[in-house]
Amino acid sequence: MSRQLSHELEVNVPASEAWELYGKLQLAKLLVEEGSIVEKIEVIEGDGGIGTILKKTYAPGSHGFSVQREKFTKYDNEKRMKELEVLEGGYLDLGLSLFRVRFEIIEKDNDSCIIKSTIEYDIKEEAVANTSYVTTDLVAKIAEIAKNFLVKNKATRNAE
């Protein structure tokens, strides 16, 4: 059984600036520095484009699992979109057969954009009764961390 959830957050920075953070590995570095979600990210393969494989170690208590490996499967610089799939660990250990996240940076106007995060997942039949743990909480928190970083950087640049 396939399901989908999405989250949107408006950010008062140009889409190009938000994509600069989301587009490659800068967001991963920010999440490690911030520390509330991710403790460590290892780049197993790649540079942030299609085929990049990451191993994420989550901060204790930040989520229902500790480690997952994920791969960037789609990347479109023009559309400001990238997609990743969990290869092992994470939600797959909790009864899902597929867990995919798509990040899109949607231009609203010259000075604002929307960070849209879409989660697609397939549930193993035996796990159907227990899917309440799949929420947008994690991607919403990631978007909020990104927003705070982007707005702070914009304020710093404007003050110079």
Contact (Cβ atoms closer than 8 angstroms) between residue 71 and residue 64: no
Q: Which of 82, 108, 147, 154 is catalytic?
A: 82
3-class SS at 82? Answer: strand
Instruction: Note the pLDDT of residue 61.
Output: 76
- C-beta contacts of 40-45 below 8 A and 24+ residues apart: 44/69
Residues near 6 by Cβ (< 8 Å), separated by ≥ 6? 116, 117, 118, 119, 136
The Cα–Cα gap between 72 and 66 comes to 20
Q: Give me the residue label for tokens 């999440």.
A: 31
Instruction: Give catalytic status of residue 108 as yes or no.
Output: no
**What's the start-to-end Cα distance of the chain, in Å?**
53
List, for residues 35-65, the tens digit of each pLDDT value.
889 999 999 999 989 999 999 998 887 777 8
List, for residues 72-98, the tens digit of each pLDDT value.
999 999 999 999 999 999 889 888 899
